Structure 1
Amino acid sequence: MSRQHWKKIALGIGMSSLLLLAACSEEDKEQGAEEPKQEDVEKAEEKSKDAAPQSNMELSMEDIGEIKEAEGIPAEDKQAILASFNQYIEAFNQEDIETYMKVISKTPINFTYEEEEKYVKSIFDQVDSKRTTENTTIINYAGKKADVYSEITAVTTDPDNGEKATRSGRQVSVFHKDSDGNWKLAAIFFIANPDEENGEAEKEE
């Protein structure tokens, strides 16, 4: 597996469209990698705003500050939201694409259902990637929308040579409650740890 291809896969920690955009490095640009169109980015941003009109649900990863659980979350919803988040993590770790896609929204904010399925299948086919989470907390709740904060670390192994790369950072996973009362993952906002902001995954010996 080429170093450039390996680098892109190692960076893949969340939703395909969002994090492939974030993973574009200067090296990618020099090699002629296609950049997302500005109009597509703007459409995604507008869609995100429309999906969460409540003022208390406006999300800014830059201004999260102290992590506190949102007030007034019904016990049943809290259990269901966290169960959906855990399904998202566990199904990925077990490379269970069917279970993984069951928790993904069919009407997402900043990616498409089909893109996500294709991307995750490619990860499962090419590398071994495992995620661990800490400090998982529902930081915003508004009836049919919830933001779940978590500190996530992904360790990705290249099966060709055993090389490992670690990617970690803070993530907010946005869940929407569908018409059947199920909580589905609709968007992810991820910020890499400071030493990884330039898109270089930390190598493990």
Structure 2
Amino acid sequence: MLKKSILAVFTLLILTACGNKKEDMSAEERQKIIDEGTAGFEMNDGKITKAENVPSDEEKAILAAFDEYIAAFNAEDLDRYMQTISKNPKGFDYEEDKKRTKEVFEQSEVKRDVKDTTIIKYSEEEAQIHTNMTVHLVELKTKVKHESVGQQVTVFVKEDGGWKVTSIFYIGDDTKSTTGK
């Protein structure tokens, strides 16, 4: 039962603000999302392709919004984190995300490490950022440590003059748990 509880907390963390899970979609649904431009990225020789049409001022604003989204989450500051989230997200429910994130912050120590952050799609209304992400979580009650390594596409929309997270697509490559001391 304890393992199920730990896995539930970890899954909750990974899926916070992530209404679109790879496992819940068929291959056709995933392809439709990519084809319709909801989320997707191209790789050339194993490398992510950067969008070339991003104005430099927008690139700075989008990357700053992404950095704040990660920093607010890592600070476990719920109000600050929710300011990075769209009030009308496409990929999840705002109130449900707030509730889940609060639970994660109350039950664990958590940190997201990102690298290779790249804007992969851009229009005046929407931007997508691809990143390689490692999520570190320690459950407070049990001290069990979890780590998940994967790729995330974070979709931003223009809202109230800034860029806000509207949906997230996370594909986990590796997850492991260890007992803490």
Relative distance call for 1:73 and 1:22 in structure 2 (3 A) is: closer
Give 1:23 shift.
Answer: 7.5
Relative distance call for 1:76 and 1:17 in structure 2 (3 A) is: closer
Query: What are the equivalent positions in structure 2 for 1:63-82 lying under 5 Å apart?
Result: 64-65=43-44, 66-82=47-63
Unaligned stretches of 5+ in structure 2? Answer: none
2: distance between equivalents of 1:112 and 1:5? 23
Residues paired across the two proteins, number = 172
1: distance between equivalents of 2:146 and 2:124? 38
- Which amino acid in structure 2 is aligned with residue 18 of structure 1? G
Do structure 1's residue 203 and structure 2's residue 169 form an aligned pair? no
Q: TM-score, normalized by length of structure 2?
A: 0.83
- Which amino acid in structure 1 is aligned with residue 82 of structure 2? M
Relative distance call for 1:22 and 1:10 in structure 2 (3 A) is: farther
As a proportion of its length, which structure holds more helix? 1
Relative distance call for 1:116 and 1:58 in structure 2 (3 A) is: closer
- Report % sequence identity: 33
Give 1:161 shift.
Answer: 2.8
Relative distance call for 1:183 and 1:17 in structure 2 (3 A) is: closer
Relative distance call for 1:14 and 1:136 in structure 2 (3 A) is: farther
User: Paired residue for 1:30?
Assistant: none
- Which amino acid in structure 1 is aligned with residue 93 of structure 2? T
- Which amino acid in structure 2 is aligned with residue 15 of structure 1? T
Match of 2:109 among 128, 136, 140: 128
2: distance between equivalents of 1:109 and 1:174? 9
Do structure 1's residue 108 and structure 2's residue 82 form an aligned pair? no
As a proportion of its length, which structure holds more strand? 2
1: distance between equivalents of 2:80 and 2:176? 29
Relative distance call for 1:127 and 1:58 in structure 2 (3 A) is: closer
2: distance between equivalents of 1:158 and 1:23? 24
Q: 2:22 touches 2:169 (CA, 8 Å); kept in 1?
A: no
1: distance between equivalents of 2:38 and 2:151? 17
Q: Which runs of 4+ in 1 moved over 6 A?
A: none
User: Paired residue for 2:99?
Assistant: 118
RMSD after superposition: 2.7
2: distance between equivalents of 1:135 and 1:114? 30
SS at match of 2:140: coil
Give 1:64 shift.
Answer: 4.5
Give 1:59 shift.
Answer: 2.8
SS at match of 1:183: strand
Relative distance call for 1:145 and 1:94 in structure 2 (3 A) is: same
Match of 1:167 among 148, 151, 155: 148
Q: 2:22 touches 2:171 (CA, 8 Å); kept in 1?
A: no
Unaligned stretches of 5+ in structure 1? Answer: 25-40
Do structure 1's residue 158 and structure 2's residue 139 form an aligned pair? yes
2: distance between equivalents of 1:64 and 1:5? 37
Larger mean CA deviation between 134-143 and 66-75 belongs to 66-75
Q: TM-score, normalized by length of structure 1?
A: 0.74
Give 1:2 shift.
Answer: 2.3
